[in-house]
Structure 1
């Protein structure tokens, strides 16, 4: 990638982040359904047409943070020691959320968007679709790591492991009040994941 194209991509990411931030503020202030793409674009200072150059829909803008967290999960999982169990590697990948909770403002925003997502059927459907895609990407990383270790893998079993780990994360986040700090979230996640740890990982 040339320096020019690299700078262009950085600029694009900055604009996407700004749109997502403004959209989130509007969703919090007046609700997801009541907020239109026109309002988001106008508040940012762009046309609707320009908005659609960055996001295909307001659902995409609302879930931009989730997409970035998903990328962070993947990066964290990929960097774990190769001899670590899949379950332990997934637990450590989820530290991305633990670290977010160390920032009170980010913690509050994450909690608020979680409530908004759960209360909006179209947004919840879009979230679940992305969550499934994220789990598939995590599975692909685990399969590649197993192959690198020279192990024969059962993708169906690994998919169940990923789904179970993600269910643990969701269960903990569903009880998060917006005031839960990183240490508390980490402890809860440890407790829940230890309780349902796969037999082959004990």
Structure 2
């Protein structure tokens, strides 16, 4: 089912407000910013802000809204003769363009999420929600049919954990370690070859 005009408008408004909220969180600290201050900074009423986001965490994590589907789409487009594991590793690359484009900003945003327990927990929930998307994409890619084999779900979960561990290491190194190399190392640790 496609998105309605209302869904598209909601997504557009969220996309306009979220960067302003994130900038304020980065400058002032997540716990130091109130919803009222977010509303003022974004130029909307408090109730309007809450209608679009529901809470402060959503204002940050809305940046992840389409990422699971982006990885799934990248996975579906991988060559059919490529192993599931190699396809998963290459598919997650779509998430790391911001790390290449502006590593300083990417590190600041990642650190904000990692250092804020509520954000970290919600981000982990989002990642967990991507598992079925990735497993279904692999099943589609390999022609496994409508029933997703358990092995594909396990591979998707493991890939997401590899990604999270690489991001944690990169953040802990203050961005000094190469994130792509960390991803490669994490995926290599479970490579079935």
Q: Which residue of 2 is the match for residue 32 of structure 1? A: 30
Gaps of 5+ in 1: none
2:186 is aligned, of 185, 188, 192, to: 192
Q: Could you say which residue in structure 1 is the equivalent of 2:19?
A: 21
Give the alignment's Cα RMSD to 1 decimal: 2.7
Quickly say closer, same or farther: Cα 1:68–1:110, change in 2 above 3 A: farther
Corresponding residue to 1:90 among 88, 91, 94:
88
- Contact 1:108 1:178 (C-alpha < 8 Å) held by counterparts: no
Specify the SS of the correspondent of 1:83.
coil
Taking a change above 3 Å as real, the CA distance of residues 124 and 144 of structure 1, as seen in their structure-2 partners, is: same
- Structure-2 separation of matches of 1:115 and 1:124: 10
8 Å CA contact 1:76, 1:93 repeated in 2: yes
User: Which residue of structure 2 lines up, in the alignment, with residue 117 of structure 1?
Assistant: 113
Q: TM-score, normalised by structure 2?
A: 0.83
User: Which of 72, 75, 99 matches 1:74?
Assistant: 72
Unpaired segments ≥5 residues, structure 2: none
Post-superposition offset of 1:30: 1.7
CA distance in 1, matches of 2:39, 2:176: 33
Q: Is the 2:71–2:92 Cα contact (8 Å) retained in structure 1?
A: yes
1:144 aligns with 2:119: no
Structure scoring higher RCO (CA < 8 A, sep ≥ 6) equals: 1
Spell out, residue by residue over 1:1-36, the C-alpha distance to the aligned partner (whole angstroms, 9 max, x if none). xxxx76x76654332122110111111122212212
Q: Is the 8 A contact 1:37 1:57 kept in 2?
A: yes
Query: What do the CA deviations read for 1:71-126 (whole angstroms, capped 9, x no partner)?
Result: 3212211221223221111111111134222212xx32322222222222222221
